[in-house]
Amino acid sequence: GLAVVFADLANDFYQLTEPPLTDEERALLLQLEKDLTEHQEIAKDKIELYAHIQKTANHMKINISENDERTKLKLRYYLIRDLFNLQQIEPLLHDEQIEKIICEGVEKPVIIIRSGKQWKTNVIFSHQEEINAILEQVAKKTYQQLSLEEPILDAVYKEFRMQGNLGTDLVPAKFIIARE
C-alpha cells in the first residue's frame, strides 16, 4: 500500500514525496482525523472509511465523487499513517536500508543513516506537539508510561529501538530510532 510514497536520493539529500493534498483535502483530512481518533475501527475498514470520507466531504460541501478512488486512497493513506503509524516518519521505517532516524528537534531536518551514510531529509517538524505525538504513539503501542513527569522513552517497536524525550518548555522534544 505504500506505492503512493517516493524517495529520491541526490546530493546527500533524501527527498520523501508523499501524495500532495489540496487545501480542501487538507481541511477534510483534519476533520476526519478529529472524528476518527475516537472511532479508529472505522479507519480500519476500507469500505466503511470510504463511506465516512464521502459523508464528511458532502457535509463540508467538498466535492468528491463516489467513484473518485484516488482522493479516497490518498486520504486513507494519511489517516492510517497518522492514526496507527508514526506519522511523517512512517515512510522512513519502510526503507530497509535506513539504519537510524535522528530527530534533534523542531525546525531541524530529520537525519537518517542509510547504508552507513548520513543524509538530511526533507522531513521537518514545525511543532513540538508533532514530535511528542510520535513518542506518545510508540509509548502507547509498547505499553510504556510517558508523561511530563516521566518524559523519557526507551522502547522496542517492531524491529526498531526508539529513544527520545517529550518536549516541554525547557527541554526540546527529540528522538533516535535505530533498526535493531
Per-residue pLDDT of 52-94, as tens digits, reads 999 999 999 999 988 888 999 999 999 999 999 999 999 999 9
Please check the confidence at residue 1 and state whether its pLDDT lies above 50: no
CA distances from 58 to 33, 61, 72, 154 (A): 16, 5, 13, 43
Global pTM exceeds 0.75:
yes
Per-residue pLDDT of 94-140, as tens digits, reads 999 999 999 999 999 999 999 999 999 999 999 999 999 999 999 99
45 pLDDT band, cuts 50/70/90, is very high
Please check the confidence at residue 2 and state whether its pLDDT lies above 80: no
Per-residue pLDDT of 4-34, as tens digits, reads 788 899 888 999 999 999 999 999 999 999 9
Per-residue confidence (pLDDT) for residue 3, from 0 to 100: 56
Per-residue pLDDT of 138-175, as tens digits, reads 999 999 999 999 999 999 999 999 999 999 888 999 99
Instruction: Report the percentage of the chain scoring pLDDT > 90.
Output: 85
